[in-house]
Amino acid sequence: MSFTKKFSALLLSAAVSVPLFLTGCHGSRGLDPFVIPEEFDTSRNYEITFWAKNDTNKNQTDIYHQAIEDFQTLYPNITVNLRLYTDYSRIYNDVITNISTNTTPNVCITYPDHIATYRTGTNVVVPLDELFVDPEYGLGGSEVRFDAPTVDEIIPQFLSECAFDDAHYALPFMRSTEACYVNKTYVEALGFTLPDVLTWDFVWEVAEAATEKNADGTFKVNGQNVMLPFIYKSTDNMMIQMLRQMGADYSTDAGDILIFNDTTEEILYTVAEHTATGAFTTFKISSYPANFLNAGQCIFAVDSTAGATWMGTDAPLSDISEENLVRFETAVRMIPQADPDDPAMISQGPSVCLFNKGDPQEVLASWLFTQYLLSNDVQIAYSGTEGYVPVTSKAQESAEYQDYLSRGGEDNDHYYSVKLDAAKLLLEHTDDTFVTPVFNGSASLRNAAGQLIENVTKSVRRSETVDDAYMEKLYADIISLYRLDGGSSTASVGKAELGPLPATSVALLAALGGTWVLILAYVGREFLKKRKK
């Protein structure tokens, strides 16, 4: 981690509102739809590009390289060029740029929200349904040179997240959810018993208790000058999950924006109340939850299960110096719930999509590599780098993966107990996960959801009054900032995301306009000349 991650987080939020120009050179006509070749031509050599994202985790980088090497051994006529990114927003931005010049990668790690935008180009992203079931080259097909999963062996919930408009445009690659990493030692020191399922009420109560200070200004629970009892990493997830748990609206599948409702306001008042006492803060305002948790300065740290290797005294990855580490027992729980009997949590994680090309053979080569990413070798290795879970039952149920799960705590590296507990949490609660609807503009709505919490938190810290008038203005500001006004967001948000023309586009349009003026002037002059004759 570093400051760069903060920048990346902002890039991510910014990227969704980047001006979109998908109607470049080929955009108006588009590529022809991809048709599966009858046979993969192995007499030719193919060079494909794979844009991937790693969580600034060298083990993940190494696994990508190993996967490519192993795949190239199986298919010596296919060369895979890896381009690594450290954040999704850079991939998204580069894909957008390259769509207009028809230089997209062949295979790309991505989010479904982003694919919704890529698809506004014609036949840019390959629909995968026919490929899934092709007898020769489909998932687990007869001509595939490795042990690939069948479509039925992909976890249905995860696969369904990659479907829009009745077709699949991606495959899930890894899945995670959010977890609450708890300093159990401090919870018990404050006189509470940590339940198996956290409720919001419990978390707020303990967090408030942790704000109590000694006469010298230090906090009673840790004896330090700093205690941020409850830190939430992704406040968009926080708002989305709270709304879901409370049965409140967020958006429709068609893209109607429903977030500005009374339940949202209720949540924001709760956030304000606990920010005012110092019980709550966010990553964007304070920093990484793991840094505070591991320094004994936080009790409830909500972050991705894919961040588990940073959590806890014995975490294999750490951003704070050894002398600042505090020993405590780390417990992994579901995120706080409104109803413990009906838990709900977000499903998230990278998916992989395939870009169309003029040469169907090249696309088929790319598809084979994409499929390889779902093989057990890659799935089990990559999921072990963090608290990810494999996306196939074939991998999840394999003896190798089951052995891995059974060895939690054997060391503080590959078998780090917190990481394994985080992965198990998702495995046990896959049926309790959900995703939000994907539409052109859904990424803006997601950002808006988080910004509501960030703004309220900042305002309280700045001693501003948070009341009904504040809420009214906040809603208006967020609607304006994220262009969420209008009926169908598919239209309104999509239009809004276009934003102002970039300087290069203005220059291009000006040049085109100037050219037309000159052409018309020339034609006019010739016409006048002829008339004079």
Partner 1 sequence: MKKILALIAAAVMMLTAAGCSGETADTADVKSEGVMTYAEYAAAELETPVVVETYVQAKQGWWDNKATFYTQDKEGGYYLYNMPCTEEEYSKLTPGTKIKVSGYKTAWSDEVEIIDSTFEIMEGNYIAEAMDATALLGTDELVNHQNKFVSFKGLTVEASTDATGNEAAYLYGWDGSGEAGTDSDLYFNASINGNTYTFVIEYYLCNETTAAYQAVQGLNIGDTIDLEGFLFWYNGAQPHVTSVIVK
Binding site for partner 1 (CB under 8 A): 1-4, 6-7, 10-11, 14-15, 17-18, 54, 56-62, 83-86, 90, 285-288, 291, 317, 319-321, 458, 461-463, 502-503
E strand or H helix that includes residue 369: helix 360-372
**CB nearer partner 1, residue 61 or residue 412:** 61
CB of 333 to partner 1, least distance (A): 26
513 phi and psi angles, rounded to 5 deg: -60, -45
Q: What is residue 148's three-state secondary structure?
A: coil
Q: How far is the CB of 3 from partner 1 (least distance, A)?
A: 5
List of residues 6+ apart from 206 with CB closer than 8 A: 187, 190, 192, 229, 299, 300
> 369: how many CB neighbours lie within 10 A of its CB?
23
Among residues 104 and 282, whose Cβ is nearest to partner 1? Answer: 282
- Closest approach, Cβ 419 to partner 1, in A, equals 15
Report whether 344 contacts 432 (CB < 8 A).
yes
HSE, side-chain direction, 13 A CA sphere, residue 199: 10
- The smaller minimum CB distance to partner 1, of residues 85 and 181, is found at 85
| Closer residue to partner 1 (CB): 19 or 358 | 19
Distance CA(325)–CA(327), nearest Å, equals: 7
130 neighbors 34 (Cβ within 8 angstroms): no
| Residue with the two structure tokens 């790690």 | 109
Residue 178's alpha-carbon distances to 281, 288, 303, in angstroms, are 17, 14, 5
Specify the amino acid at residue 264: T
Least distance between partner 1 and beta carbon 444 (Å): 12
Closer residue to partner 1 in complex, CB, 320/405: 320
444 contacts 16 by C-beta, under 8 angstroms: yes
Closer residue to partner 1 in complex, CB, 19/223: 19
Least CB distance from residue 320 to partner 1, whole Å?
6
52 SS3 class: strand
Contacts with 243 (C-beta within 8 Å, 6 or more apart), sequence order: 249, 250, 259, 263, 264, 267, 449
CB of 317 to partner 1, least distance (A): 8
Give the separation between CA 296 and CA 517, rounded to whole angstroms: 69
For partner 1, give the closer residue by CB, 58 or 532: 58
Choice between 65 and 145, CB closer to partner 1: 65
Residue type, 511: A
Residue number, 18 or 435, with CB nearest to partner 1: 18
Asked whether 338 and 246 are in contact (CB, 8 A), the reply is yes
Cβ-in-10-Å burial (0-12, 13-18, 19+) of 406 comes to exposed
Q: Closest approach of Cβ 53 to partner 1, in Å?
A: 11
In whole angstroms, how close is the CB of 393 to partner 1 at the nearest point?
30
Q: What's the CA gap between 490 and 172, in Å, rounded?
A: 24
**Smallest distance, partner 1 to C-beta of residue 278, A:** 12
Closest separation in Å from C-beta 503 to partner 1: 6
Interior angle at CA 54, CA 443 and CA 127, nearest 5:
55
Q: What's the closest the beta carbon of residue 93 comes to partner 1, in angstroms?
A: 9
Q: How far is residue 242 CA from its own chain's centroid?
A: 18
Structure tokens at 301: 């740290």
Give the Cβ contact number of residue 439 at 10 Å. Answer: 23
Nearest CB to partner 1, comparing residues 42 and 79: 79
Decide whether 2 or 402 has the Cβ nearer to partner 1: 2
